[in-house]
Amino acid sequence: METTKKTLEHRNTDCKRLRQNSERTTQKVESIYEASVYQKIYKGEAKAHIEELGYGTNFSSYPYFEFNVPRNVTTTVGQTAFLHCRVEQLGDKAVSWIRKRDLHILTAGILTYTSDQRFQVIRPDKSDNWTLQIKFPQLRDSGIYECQVNTEPKMSLAYRLNVIEAKARVLGPGDLHVKAGSSVTLVCVINQGPHDLGTVFWYLGANMLQTLPTHPNDADASARLSIQNHWSDGLTSRLHISSARLTDSGNYSCVPTIAAPASVNVHVINGEHPAAMQHGNKNTAPLSLSLHCTLVYSISVFIIKHIR
């Protein structure tokens, strides 16, 4: 009887050990999908890490994502956007792109599953890259997109797309009055959008401004006009006009290649006091006050005489 009891105790102990081993094995499998594992994967340490878990070569051909790609992508309205998904060791699995907000399947493999033809997957032959291309993106296209692999359980990697409407801005007032012969500098800035902000063109009315002389007899035109573009966190364009002439008056537009334009009206005037044009209404204040006082005095005198 005592022998049977010891045998049962040993069996219970063995079962307990098997359960513990099973739990540890499950934890190891789950850890493959953790971010720390993926971090090691894209650093080229996947095989060593899997061997550390005790699986040998059982998972040597398991798919994994390349993390060293941009996953927070910003573009402007109308500028084609690209979301790059790289899957190593895909094998017989398939890659799909999903729009998170409505769980709409955009592409599966190389096929497009949406009626919106702006979406397309680009995958060069035998490449590990599955790039989602979005043509003419709009503000409504902003959000989360997922690159998925049909493993069990499913693997997915999230990407954020930010579509913004970049706008140019001309610093200063909308109407600028300058004295003939003086210098004019217009500054246009674009501080929204992706790093590639294109360039800027300046127009006077419908005519594009050129920094080169347009006629041999007007050789000083290039010296009077200069355009400087500077790229840093944004794009800044400076239009400088020296020795302004009356013919330089008009509407100046700053027209970026990937942003909404902005404009300013320049008035080149003769005379010593151009500020009078900007604030001419102030000169009428004393006259208005004098007329008002005269009118009040006349009415008062009339009322007094009438009462008497």
pLDDT for position 27: 42
- The answer to whether residue 125 scores a pLDDT higher than 60 is yes
Tens digits of residue pLDDT in 107-121:
999 999 999 999 999
Looking at domain 169-279, what is its CATH homologous superfamily?
Immunoglobulins (2.60.40.10)
- The answer to whether residue 72 scores a pLDDT higher than 60 is yes
Contact 192, 164 (CB under 8 A): yes
Domain boundaries, the chain: 2-52, 64-164, 169-279
Least confident of 48-57, 127-136, 205-214: 48-57
- Does 64-164 match 169-279 in CATH topology? yes
CA nearest 2: which of 204, 10, 26, 76?
10
Confidence of residue 276 (pLDDT cuts 50, 70, 90): very low
Contact 134, 161 (CB under 8 A): yes
Q: Copy the structure tokens of residue 65.
A: 């994502």
Average pLDDT over residues 78-92: 93
pLDDT for position 61: 75
CATH 2.60.40.10 at 64-164, yes or no? yes
Q: What is the pTM of this model?
A: 0.54
Burial classification of residue 57, based on how many CB atoms lie within 10 Å of its CB (0-12 exposed, 13-18 middle, 19 or more buried): exposed
Average pLDDT over residues 212-229: 65
